[in-house]
Amino acid sequence: MVASSLKLQELIQEIREAKTQAQEREVIQKECAHIRASFRDGDPLHSHRQLAKLLYAHMLGYPAHFGQMECLKLIASPRFTDKRVGYLGAMLLLDERQDAHLLITNSIKNDLSQGIEAVQGLALCTLSTMGSAEMCRDLAPEVEKLLLQPSAYVRKKAVLTAVHMIRKVPELSDIFLPPCAQLLHERHHGILLGTVTLITELCERSPAALKHFRKVVPQLVHTLRTLVMTGCSTEHSVSGVSDPFLQVQILRLLRILGRNHEESSETMNDLLAQVATNTDASRNAGSAVLFETVLTIMDIRSAAGLRVLAVNILGRFLLNSDRNIRYVALTSLLKLVQSDHSAVQRHRPTVVECLREPDASLSRRALELSLALVNSSNVRTMTQELQGFLESCPPDLRADCASGILLAAERFAPTKRWHIDTILRVLTTAGTYVRDDAVANLIQLIGGAQELHAYSVRRLYSALAEDISQQPLVQVAAWCIGEYGDLLLEGTCEETEPLQVEEDVVLALLERVLQSHMSLPATRGYALTALMKLSTRLHGDNNRICQVMSIYGSCQDVELQQRAVEYNALFRKYDHLRAAVLEKMPLVERGGPQVNEAAKESKEVAQLSEAAPVPTETQVRGPGYPWGKSMVQLPYPALTLLPSLQASKLLDLLDLLDGPSENAQHPPPLDPTPGDTLIHLLDLPCTPLPSAPIPNLKVFEREGLQLTLSFVRPPGTPTLLLITVTATNTSGGDVTHFICQVAVPKSFQLQLQAPSGDTVPAQGGLPMTQLLRILNPNKAPLRLKLRLTYDHFGQSVQEIFEVNNLPVETWQ
């Protein structure tokens, strides 16, 4: 047995003398070793002291689990000194997640029934702090008995323990409900406090209990009245208010009982009026009672006059010099703002004042309340105030404030221009804190307000010229400049000051954004695309833009590189398509997160400018494959507007076309459908291209499903032919699982690219398109064999036919 064991104070003293963390750890570890030895060897006289030291070490964060068994031993000891420390240890070291905790159930049971008040108190205290569901179930009968004990001290603790038990095991409500009514007649305030808490817990859990307890409302009213009226019993009074805690609890219970219940509310009305007028609010305790009274008045069916009184009390509190009172006033008003909106509106100016508080807790509450008070009539002034707040508020409130302003603007914007201005200001002030969809929202908003295009682009340009660091702002500005660059340079806008902008300056600005190290990759993507769009909007030659594109063609960022390469290709090979591809975007409908995605996608899509898909596939050619074909995978974004593009599969070789075959189906000759769109993979309504010199060819029709081919021979490459297969459906039923396979004669090389989808909806819905690239080095006459498989009207259909009547221009 260790001879010298430190007293608790001595240990504490030693720990305090340790100069460093490491020293402290040393001291404690040494002591814990002693303690462990002492537990092992058994030292009944001093084990309470050892445990006390261990608990101290535990508080500082050192491991103490080896003391758990010792707690059990001490609890079982007959000495009060031991029990006291043992129970404290149980509360600190044991909890329901360890099985060991069940072992004290028996000890607690013994202690509960053995009659010494102090010991019973300890047991009840421990049970109510760490008692698990099993323990509660086991010990419920004991606790129930204690509710009838003569000692008020024990009864008081038993009642509160019952609350804990009900929380853990709701079925125990049945046991503890009956004694409540009787307990309410007690004089002892501690018991009353516990009983009111117990009844509150029961009522919150079960509507049946709530109904049952409505009958005690008169008793509660009586008790509260006594408290308020009788001068302070000095024992319980806090600065002149008798037992404010009990008053507050009773008021809460009355609130629950009177809610939505005419009769109970009637009974309480007078009393509440009395409390509201008689309580002295110059002290903290009185204020606490008054707040609860106000909340209760507002929550039950009270008389109108009383409600007015209540809200006025809150208004007075808002002007109080004590910050705590103001805080609680703001919190209470927040609780009321939904149900009594107009009453709270009256205090709006004061609430807005509180925004300017240096105290972060107060300004946070004021912010929440202010945002809840915005409506269509005060939106302009409120937004002004909130914008001011946004500029100076602490960083952790900025995100909430920004999104709050944007939300309010969306709901109550008086004009579109104001809305755009507001969002612009938020982006400039707190751009980094806005949510991701703010950019998309603003773009959609601007896009939809045709009359404001010029205005928007000018304002955004000015904002961008000043500061290119706020990413959301830069993104929106870049997009706008790209789309409406022509409006920026030409034309005047009445709403802003005349702005003389040179083309070069605009280009330089976008280039600066591109090169800036502050720009996110997404932002640079926006800028690149904007530059590209400007190539059609501006009048100068496009050398500068071309240069940028070729530089970025070797950019490290894969996304930018891809875009640049594609745009480059647009310049070089598909220049005639450039104007159409880079046209102004149509408005996208907004309808929710899904459609927002579509908006984002169509934006992306327009920016990716699919006009000249850069094939990344491999070409299959050579003698081994008589019909050269292979499928291509292109990384198209998944659209919500269209069925997702599938990666196409490798085809089986179709054995066909050795020579002119007689059994091929001849599609009925038809007028070529005019105004076909060319590269139609993404079904954005585009204006028809300058009419292709080669007429389109309808090759197939069955039950409303038609297949048409349109041809393009790009000027630079005489051997290349681009065919777009378009499938349209005028019937009443959808065509699904549509697959089109193509075979060409030996000397040709064919590449099939991914179709736009595999469904052709009925009634002239979105056509499906597929692009074919055919290389014809020998300039041989072109023939095609097509194989279609699809489902239509519940049947699967397979069609194979040849196309022989292709126009001469396609292969000469």
Partner 1 sequence: MIKAILIFNNHGKPRLSKFYQPYSEDTQQQIIRETFHLVSKRDENVCNFLEGGLLIGGSDNKLIYRHYATLYFVFCVDSSESELGILDLIQRWFFHSLEHVGNSVVTVFPLWLSQIFEEEGVLSMHKVFVETLDKCFENVCELDLIFHVDKVHNILAEMVMGGMVLETNMNEIVTQIDAQNKLEKSETFIFQSPRQDR
Q: Which of residues 237-266 bind partner 1 (CB under 8 A)?
A: 238-239, 243-246, 248, 252
Residues 177-206 that bind partner 1 (CB under 8 A): 189-190, 193-194, 197
116 vs 551, which CB is nearer to partner 1? 116
Of residues 276 and 440, the one with the C-beta less far from partner 1: 276
Buried b (16+ CB within 10 A) or exposed e, 531-544: bbbbbbbbeeebeb
Report the amino acid identity of residue 776: N
Which residue in 39, 213, 327, 801 binds partner 1 (CB under 8 A)?
327
> Which residues, in sequence order, are CB contacts of 558 under 8 Å at separation 6+?
none
Contact 227, 247 (CB under 8 A): yes
Question: Using CB under 8 A, which of the segments 161-169, 221-229, 569-577, 698-706 binds partner 1?
Answer: 161-169
161 binds partner 1 (CB under 8 A): yes
Q: How far is the CB of 148 from partner 1 (least distance, A)?
A: 19
Q: Tell whether residue 66 is a contact of partner 1 (CB under 8 A).
A: no
Residue with tokens 């007078």: 270
Shortest separation between residue 795's beta carbon and partner 1, angstroms: 57
- Say whether residue 153 binds partner 1 (CB under 8 A): yes
| 52 in contact with partner 1 (CB under 8 A) | yes
- Tell whether residue 328 is a contact of partner 1 (CB under 8 A): yes
Closest CA to 543 of 523, 571, 509: 571
Q: Is 320 in the site for partner 1 (CB under 8 A)?
A: no
Nearest-5° angle of CA 544, CA 549, CA 551? Answer: 95
Backbone angles phi, psi at 772, to 5 degrees: -120, 140
- Minimum Å gap between C-beta 61 and partner 1 is 5
Of 112, 143, 160, 300, the one binding partner 1 (CB under 8 A) is 160
Q: In sequence order, which residues have a C-beta less than 8 Å from that of residue 366 and are 6 or more positions away?
A: 330, 351, 352, 354, 355, 357
Which residues contact residue 235 at a Cβ distance below 8 angstroms, ignoring those fewer than 6 apart? none
| 701-740 positions binding partner 1, by CB under 8 A | none
Can you name the residues that pair with 710 across neighbouring β-strands?
Answer: 724
Of 55 and 585, which has the nearer Cβ to partner 1? 55
Q: How far is the CB of 342 from partner 1 (least distance, A)?
A: 25
23 scored as a contact of partner 1 (CB under 8 A): no
- Give how far the C-alpha of residue 649 lies from the chain's centroid of Cα atoms, to the nearest Å: 39
| Packed helices 133-146 and 152-168: angle between N→C axes, nearest 10 degrees | 150
157 is a contact residue toward partner 1 (CB under 8 A)? yes
Q: What is the dihedral of CA 433, 436, 438, 439, to 10 degrees?
A: 110
- With CB under 8 A as the contact rule, the residue among 139, 146, 154, 163 that binds partner 1 is 163
Interface residue with partner 1 among 80, 407, 491, 777 (CB under 8 A) is: 80
Only segment of 114-122, 382-390, 622-630, 725-733 that touches partner 1 (CB under 8 A): 114-122
Contacts of 3 (CB under 8 A, 6+ apart): none
Of 365, 414, 409, 363, residue with least CA distance to 390: 363
Cα 533 from Cα 443, distance rounded (Å): 16
The interface region with partner 1, picked from 153-161, 216-224, 297-305, 677-685 by CB under 8 A, is: 153-161
Stretch that binds partner 1, among 128-136, 169-177, 652-660, 779-787 (CB under 8 A): 128-136
Q: Within 262-291, which residues bind partner 1 (CB under 8 A)?
A: 282-285, 287-288, 291
Nearer to partner 1, 351 or 608 (CB): 351
Find the binder of partner 1 among 136, 147, 297, 326 (CB under 8 A): 326
- How far is residue 144 from each of residues 111, 377, 425, 668, measured CA to CA in Å? 15, 59, 65, 94
Find the binder of partner 1 among 27, 72, 88, 721 (CB under 8 A).
88
Cross-strand pairs, 796: 791
Residue 751 has φ and ψ, to the nearest 5°, of -125, 125
CB of 284 to partner 1, least distance (A): 4
Say which amino acid occupies 423: I
**138: contact with partner 1 by CB under 8 A:** no
155, 255, 364, 453: which one contacts partner 1 (CB under 8 A)?
364
Query: H or E stretch including 726?
Result: strand 720-729
Q: Minimum Å distance from CB 331 to partner 1?
A: 8
**Stretch touching partner 1 by CB under 8 A, among 256-264, 316-324, 569-577, 717-725:** 316-324
| 71 makes contact with partner 1 (CB under 8 A) | no
Q: Would you say 128 or 475 has its CB closer to partner 1?
A: 128
Buried b (16+ CB within 10 A) or exposed e, 745-778: beebbbbbbbbbbbbbbbeeebbbbbbbbbbbee
